[in-house]
Amino acid sequence: MSTLRQLLNLIQTSLATLESTCASEGLPIPELNEPFTPQSEAFRANPTVALAAHTASAAALQLSAILSPPQVSLYHTVAGHYRSAAVRACLESNVTEILREAGPQGLHIRDITAKNGQDPNKLGRLLRYLALNHVYREVSPDVFANTRLSSMLDTYKPSANVIADPDHKYDGTIGLAALASHHLDEAFKASAYTWETISDPQTSHSGDPTASAFARAFGVKETLWQFYEHPEEKYRQRRFDAGMHGVQAVQPPDAILDIYDWKRLSPGSSVVDVGGGVGTSAFPLARDFPALKVVVQDRPDVIADAKKLWSTKMPEAVDSGRVELEAHDFFNAQPKRDVSIFLLKQVMHDWSDEYCAKLLKRLREAANSSTKLILFESVMPYACHDPTGDDGKGVPGAVPVEAPAPLLANFGAVHEAGYISDMTMFVMFNSQERTFHHFERLLRDAGWKLTLVRRGHGDDAFLQSMEAVPS
């Protein structure tokens, strides 16, 4: 059978599964022209529906790559920066808020620009360009409306407020628009310097966090965190914080409870959350497993914030000593001993290999023979079939569920989020997301043996957990 026919079959069988499962479970299938609501995404929580939707989408994208003129497909990627530029202009000129208030019949570009002060000829072309990819739609000539995609850029504030007070546009929002605004500013500009950064002998092979494309683009020799400390960067700092709040909000709050069988730990066992922030993961652990000793380690200013938070959320836990909030630099010798679990959640992806190696060795030095290391990170799939799992002798969970042939094994651009995160880590921090084999190598070199990958939250989940023991 031709590849085209195989792709078409995948679309047909996936859609049949999707429609019948949604019908029997009473799950609505989203409409492109209606605004996003959490309920409109509820169907994806059903694993059968999610797999069918992702398979059909991946097949449709591959079909388009075959049937579109190659220069058109290529330029979809080559000209990606124009789409970013256009969406940035619409986001920052508050088009989505204006169109939300206009409703599904849309608004003429003259009336949009009467509100946001833009040139109707220029903004109208940007909107029409984005409508090619269903971000906004042109309802009738020069009349535009939101779609499911553009509605995700909504701060849900009245347009008059965000137009009058752009400095506080993203404060107190759910964060997705803030995250997009951050990506379209710092990360977008940084990404333009990717080649300059990896071709300059000063930075090409460096693991230094200040050797990033971001530092080059902004003409600084500092990390993003140091950059945000400048008084004139307060707006960007607040916008970043709002964006991170949005990222946290879409992660299941109690995911930490599912990544290990915490019941197995005997009373008094100690769990050290290294780089644990203000204790987001430690809260559910301390709440559900009061017999454990939970230590949260982070930088001094983060621990100061953590102390304030815990004093209102769970003061007893800190007062009794079963939760300890400890300022500690994870590149220095680890002060804790007799630790059952060292937890590293979304810490490794902030650092290049040389820094991760340092941090892993500090933990290994403090480990005893029964200590476990749990990493909670994105484990990046290859874009091809991974033969690791074929003999069944490898590490359980090392290979994710792969897409059926002839699709790309990782579902291609349908699962792009992890790869976007990898690019973000690269341009902003000179760091990265890693494949299973990369994690395995890093751990092995630092004296750890990777024994298990847990994919409890589904294969398209953002984070997977990995277990390692001293080797």
Ligand X SMILES: C[S@@+](CC[C@H](N)C(=O)[O-])C[C@H]1O[C@@H](n2cnc3c(N)ncnc32)[C@H](O)[C@@H]1O
DSSP 226: H
Q: Which of 329, 354, 365, 416 binds ligand X (CB under 6 A)?
A: 329
Nearer of residues 35 and 277 to ligand X, judged by Cβ: 277
Q: How far is the CB of 354 from ligand X (least distance, A)?
A: 14
Q: How far is CA 406 from CA 17, 59, 313, 342, 410, in A?
A: 19, 8, 51, 41, 11
Nearer of residues 59 and 296 to ligand X, judged by Cβ: 296
Nearer of residues 232 and 301 to ligand X, judged by Cβ: 301
Q: What are phi and psi of 281, to 5 degrees?
A: -80, -30
165 in contact with ligand X (CB under 6 A): no
347 in contact with ligand X (CB under 6 A): yes
Q: Which of 214, 260, 262, 330 binds ligand X (CB under 6 A)?
A: 330
Nearer of residues 86 and 274 to ligand X, judged by Cβ: 274
State how far the Cα of 353 lies from the Cα of 338, in Å rounded to an integer. Answer: 27
The one segment of 152-160, 286-294, 345-353, 449-457 that binds ligand X by CB under 6 A:
345-353
The one segment of 22-30, 125-133, 232-240, 329-337 that binds ligand X by CB under 6 A:
329-337
Exposure on the CB side of residue 13, measured as CA atoms within 13 A:
11
Nearer of residues 43 and 214 to ligand X, judged by Cβ: 214
Closest residue by Cα to residue 379 from 449, 438, 450, 456? 438
345 in contact with ligand X (CB under 6 A): yes
377 in contact with ligand X (CB under 6 A): no
Closest residue by Cα to residue 286 from 310, 307, 258, 251? 310
DSSP 346: S
- The residue count for binding ligand X (CB under 6 A) is 14
Distance between start and end Cα atoms, the chain: 49
Q: How far is the CB of 413 from ligand X (least distance, A)?
A: 25
The one segment of 132-140, 146-154, 175-183, 326-334 that binds ligand X by CB under 6 A:
326-334
Q: How far is CA 386 from CA 101, 381, 382, 436, in A?
A: 49, 8, 7, 10
State how far the Cα of 413 lies from the Cα of 61, in Å rounded to an integer. Answer: 8
Q: What value, to the nearest 5°, has the Cα angle with vertex 459 and ends 453 and 461?
A: 95
Nearer of residues 58 and 347 to ligand X, judged by Cβ: 347
Closest residue by Cα to residue 428 from 226, 224, 246? 224
State how far the Cα of 16 lies from the Cα of 404, in Å rounded to an integer. Answer: 16
Q: How far is the CB of 347 from ligand X (least distance, A)?
A: 5
313 in contact with ligand X (CB under 6 A): no
The one segment of 171-179, 262-270, 285-293, 344-352 that binds ligand X by CB under 6 A:
344-352
209 in contact with ligand X (CB under 6 A): no
346 in contact with ligand X (CB under 6 A): yes
Q: What is the dihedral of CA 99, 101, 106, 109, to 10 degrees?
A: -50
Active site residues: 349
Secondary structure (H, E, C), 6-69: HHHHHHHHHHHHHHHHHHHHCCCCCCCCCCCCHHHHHHHHCHHHHHHHHHHHHHHHHHHHHHCC
246 in contact with ligand X (CB under 6 A): no
Q: Which of residues 263-302 bind ligand X (CB under 6 A)?
A: 275-277, 280, 298-299, 302
Nearer of residues 35 and 209 to ligand X, judged by Cβ: 209
Query: Site residues (CB under 6 A) for ligand X?
Result: 275-277, 280, 298-299, 302, 329-331, 345-347, 350
